[in-house]
Amino acid sequence: MQMGYSDASSRSSSRENENFLSGIGTEVIYLVPDSLALNVKDGYQNLVTFEDRALTDIDTNIVILNLPLDTPLKIYAYRFEDAYSLSDIDSVVRTPLSFGISGSFIINSATTSITVSLSITPNGEPGIQIKEPTTSINNLGGSGTFTINLNTQPFHQVTIPVSVDNTSIATISTESVSFTPTNWSDTKTVTITGKTDVNYSDTTTLGVSIGPTSSDDGDYNQITETFTLATKSSPITPVNLIASAGESFVSLDWDQVSNATGYNVYYDEMSGVTDNDSVITGITNDNYTFSGLLNNTTYYFRVASVNSNGISALSNEVSATPTSNDSSQTDNLSRGLVSFYKFDGDANDNTSNANHGTVNGPTLTTGKDNISNTAYSFDGVNDYISINDPFENSDNFSLSIWVNTEVFTGSFHGFLGKQGDNYRKPGMWLNVRSKGLHYDHYSTSGTRFSGTLSNFFSSTETWYHIVWVKSDNESKFFRDAELISTVTSPSKFYTKRSTPYWIGKIDNYWDGSIDNLRIYDRALKSSEISLLFTSDQN
């Protein structure tokens, strides 16, 4: 008797002409007595000796069997991915993709046709397998791959969306993958690539979602898998490296890198600097000054940022040639200089503005260069020097001053500033308790900006070069050309042109010496501050 075989009637009418055995290389049908109590999952090996068996014609979906009359029967079906003969199946135990068993039925002499329902079940649990990447994603373009597989053969195509939860730090190679009954056993590979020059902490993670799947096969519809991928924030390459040279030194400046804990500076006397050249490590600020260099020799520099995850690529290369002091260097330091008090025998302003100081008590003394009559000594009681208000604008300024304290007693000792108007003008004190630099100014609307940099002063009878740079809403404080602190400050500062500015007092008095005061109406760069520091020492 010939049996025409078709798939379950639950398939939609739009798929009536579908190849129901798509992706199947072999289907074998076993005809056995209904009395046989064999679990279909136990395999086909024990069915060979029963009523009949045959291979289904994969092209026509027809199988031919010899059916005994008046005997309760049932059908076992096994499907395999590869094409086998019956002898192939008998000779080696092979693992089926899927299997099924029918209900009981009987054929008699009056039977002209019969419908037997056979439900096919995958050999395994339908689902998706994910092999996660073994590497982390980083912000230097590093990548990782993961794979997707199906557990069992689906009856219909399965489409699986793939996405990441933070596209600002990583991209994904495809938005979806698909499997069909024919290629269901293929492995699909997806690549995740970290975006470059993106800052984030090492605690940042990347969530990866696989699914929810979509398929007309109910076993493969709405399946979702997720995993979390670690990220690694490698240091970003510094940018905008610049160099300026002076007498036997070169000062470097670059833009701060937010995820860096330090910097390396590589240098050579030939262009084409690499990380194999001489290097200075352990730099914590976004600037560095090389001293003791040979004048009239050109040096080349590149900088890299550093954190716990490694060292960045090298920055742009710059060069500079130290030369002996000449007018070109001092001309740069003259730009924006509104007042300059050398205190060499008097308190006159050494700029064309001639904003000369009025001396009220302090006496000439030995200066920072150990030369007599090149600085003023203040008694901490009532000595001070008065000048006209020097501030040309309310946006930016730079105050450069050399101070030497004789005492760590009392509470505060002001050395530059002014109080008594509506608000204080920009001022600086020694905070005795913390040996700190106390700073203070007000916005034009009266908001106070103040703070203390503890342990700024380490000893008495020591000259300190102090520079306060205010640029828009940022204030930087330098000691001996080293950046000590950067803080946020009001964008506008209060001053009053009709009232004076004091050297050696504010609301209390300075007990020590003061030398070389410069006041600028612009924000100095750190390289210029290094040049000031070095040129003042020379």
Question: pLDDT-derived band of residue 278, with 50, 70 and 90 as boundaries?
Answer: very high
**pLDDT value of residue 318:** 96
**pLDDT value of residue 13:** 25
**pLDDT value of residue 389:** 93
CA angle 88, 93, 96 (to 5 degrees): 90
**pLDDT value of residue 449:** 92
Which of 241 and 236 is assigned the larger pLDDT?
241
Which of 200 and 345 is assigned the larger pLDDT?
345
State both tokens at 314: 């090298």
What is the average pLDDT value for the chain, to the nearest integer? Answer: 88
Question: pLDDT-derived band of residue 19, with 50, 70 and 90 as boundaries?
Answer: very low
**pLDDT value of residue 267:** 96
Lowest mean pLDDT among 65-69, 80-84, 140-144, 484-488: 140-144
Per-position DSSP letters for 208-231, written without gaps between them: EEE---EESSGGGSS--EEEEEEE
Average pLDDT in the 119-125 region?
A: 83
Does the structural domain 242-320 have CATH classification 2.60.40.10? yes
Average pLDDT in the 61-86 region?
A: 90
Whether the per-residue pLDDT at 6 is higher than 60: the answer is: no
Q: Are 221 and 195 in contact (CB under 8 A)?
A: no
Question: pLDDT-derived band of residue 202, with 50, 70 and 90 as boundaries?
Answer: low
**pLDDT value of residue 424:** 87
Whether the per-residue pLDDT at 1 is higher than 70: the answer is: no
Average pLDDT in the 309-338 region?
A: 79
**pLDDT value of residue 21:** 66
pLDDT of 402-420, one tens digit each? Answer: 999 999 999 999 999 998 8
Whether the per-residue pLDDT at 138 is higher than 90: the answer is: no
Element (H, E) at 330: helix 327-334
Q: State the helix-helix crossing angle for 526-537 and 327-334, rounded to 10 degrees.
A: 130
Q: Are 361 and 329 in contact (CB under 8 A)?
A: no
Question: pLDDT-derived band of residue 20, with 50, 70 and 90 as boundaries?
Answer: low
Q: How far is CA 59 from the centre of its chain?
A: 57
Question: pLDDT-derived band of residue 5, with 50, 70 and 90 as boundaries?
Answer: very low
Listed in order, the ranges of the chain carrying CATH 2.60.40.10 are 128-232, 242-320
**pLDDT value of residue 433:** 94
Whether the per-residue pLDDT at 225 is higher than 50: the answer is: yes
Whether the per-residue pLDDT at 16 is higher than 70: the answer is: no
Task: Report the share of the chain in percent with pLDDT over 90.
Answer: 57
Whether the per-residue pLDDT at 297 is higher than 50: the answer is: yes
128-232 has which fold?
A: Immunoglobulin-like (2.60.40)
Average pLDDT in the 341-352 region?
A: 94
Question: pLDDT-derived band of residue 2, with 50, 70 and 90 as boundaries?
Answer: very low
Which of 291 and 339 is assigned the larger pLDDT?
339
Listed in order, the ranges of the chain carrying CATH 2.60.120.200 are 327-537
Average pLDDT in the 320-344 region?
A: 78
Whether the per-residue pLDDT at 376 is higher than 60: the answer is: yes
Lowest mean pLDDT among 144-153, 184-193, 291-300, 329-338: 329-338
Which residue has tokens 């000792």?
413
**pLDDT value of residue 231:** 80
Whether the per-residue pLDDT at 516 is higher than 90: the answer is: yes
Contacts of 373 (CB under 8 A, 6+ apart): 344, 345, 364, 365, 366, 367
Query: Per mean pLDDT, which of 45-59, 133-147, 258-272, 313-327 is the most reliable?
Result: 258-272
Whether the per-residue pLDDT at 437 is higher than 70: the answer is: yes
Contacts of 193 (CB under 8 A, 6+ apart): 137, 141, 142, 143, 170, 171, 172, 173
**pLDDT value of residue 9:** 34
Whether the per-residue pLDDT at 76 is higher than 70: the answer is: yes
**pLDDT value of residue 332:** 72
- Partners of 25 in beta bridges: none
Task: Report the share of the chain in percent with pLDDT over 70.
Answer: 93
State both tokens at 98: 């899927």
327-537 has which fold?
A: Jelly Rolls (2.60.120)
Average pLDDT in the 72-85 region?
A: 92
Average pLDDT in the 100-106 region?
A: 91
Cα–Cα distances in angstroms (integers) from residue 467 to residues 11, 221, 250, 426, 450, in the given order:
83, 68, 19, 12, 16
**pLDDT value of residue 8:** 38
